[in-house]
Amino acid sequence: MSYKIKEVADMVGVSVRTLHHYDQIGLLKPESVTKAGYRLYAGRDLERLQQILFFKELDFNLQEIKNILDNPRFDRKQTLITHRELLLEKKKRLEKIIKSIDKTIESIEGGIEMNKKEMFDGFDMTEIERHKEKYAEETKQKYGNTDAYKESEKKTSKYTKDDWARIMAKGDQIYKKLAVLMDKDPSDPQVQELVAEKRQYITDSFYNCTPEIFRGLGELYVYDERFTANIDKYKLGLAKFLSEAIQYYCDNLK
């Protein structure tokens, strides 16, 4: 059975634009395209899309996901088992948060002061983060290119408190300058100069930011709500603006 792109988008809860983008970068190609230009997706395409969404939950960028899924050693069943473990940890955490809310409501209604520790039950992310880090590292070691990951770990492990303050201030400054230029087109020379500066900033501070990695970061800024929210703190819409500027930059590198 084949599915049209709109059917897939509605079924999964992603936008048609996202599926078009996945096709363009070779992450999720439809099984076929009709003479009229309609993309048709098969069952195995939906299986791949499910894996893409799982990996996005673990903060992998689109290029990393593509590398993993295209690897001949990729084990779908084992990957799903690991995903399940992480989701169970999230389920436990949510149940604790719900209990904490119930207790807080009871405390308010009964006029009883709540135990301060109980107020924060469920907000501890330690166990989930431990699982995520373990899985992310295992997967990157098994399937992905770990050069950037290792380089970042090596660099950042040597940073002092002052180093971090300087690095964060530099990143903050770039975002603020970009926010001022949002009335311009992402291709504007001033914007592109700042985009180049941001790429160099990442290379200097963390790891060699290749064009492929930089493009993946740009995608992450709009496809991961956490990144979007963090960047949009400088000005609403900045994440999308920066993402488009990065794509233009990468498309026009000589």
The per-residue pLDDT for range 30-61, each reduced to its tens digit, is 999 988 888 999 999 999 999 999 888 776 78
Please give the residue that has the higher pLDDT: either 224 or 35.
Answer: 35
* Same domain membership, residue 85 and residue 126: yes
* Same domain membership, residue 92 and residue 177: no
* Same domain membership, residue 163 and residue 135: no
* Same domain membership, residue 175 and residue 229: yes
Picking from 191, 172, 167, 189, the residue whose alpha carbon sits closest to that of residue 243 is: 191
- Domain of residue 44, CATH code: 1.10.1660.10
pTM of the shown model? 0.45
**Within-domain flag for 99:** yes
Rounded-to-integer distance, Cα 65 and Cα 75, Å: 13
**Within-domain flag for 66:** no
Contact between residue 62 and residue 223 where contact means Cβ atoms under 8 Å apart: yes
Q: Which residue range forms the structural domain that includes residue 15?
A: 3-49
Task: Calculate the CA dihedral of residues 232, 238, 244, 247 and round it to 10 degrees.
Answer: -70
Q: Above 90 in pLDDT, residue 67?
A: no
* Same domain membership, residue 80 and residue 35: no
- Domain count for the chain, please give it: 3
Residue with tokens 């499910």: 50
* 168-201 pLDDT tens trace: 889 889 999 999 999 999 999 999 999 999 999 9
Residue type, 139: T
Rounded-to-integer distance, Cα 110 and Cα 91, Å: 29
Contact between residue 244 and residue 191 where contact means Cβ atoms under 8 Å apart: no
Contact between residue 121 and residue 96 where contact means Cβ atoms under 8 Å apart: yes
